[in-house]
Amino acid sequence: MPHLASEGSGENGLGSEKGRMAIGDSKAFVPGGGSLLTVGEVAAAMRVSNMTVYRLIKAGELAAVRVGHNYRIREGDVERFLTERSVHVEGA
């Protein structure tokens, strides 16, 4: 399963770091493991705009937790989203 990593960690920003996403210096830990990411952190890791992340949440394609007026996305939900949309090219 791919893990998101901080900028400069390899081609397309993908890499592994002990099974955790390396986004920013601080992480909010979720009971049961993983961490909560902001919309901005997810957008930066996926190299898309914040609006794209909001659209994915509103469309129900990316699970998120509402905290006040903001959203937080579980690390595992981002990994699941990316894994489900992985493209396997034959003959490459």
pLDDT score for 32: 55
pLDDT of residue 1: 40
pTM of the model: 0.65
Left (φ > 0), alpha (ψ -120 to 50) or beta: where does 68 sit? left
Print pLDDT tens along the chain (92 aa): 444 544 444 444 444 444 454 555 555 566 656 799 999 999 999 999 999 999 999 999 999 999 999 999 999 999 999 999 999 898 86
Task: Supply 41's token pair.
Answer: 């952190």
Q: Do strands 65-67 and 35-38 pair parallel, antiparallel, or not at all (unpaired)?
A: unpaired
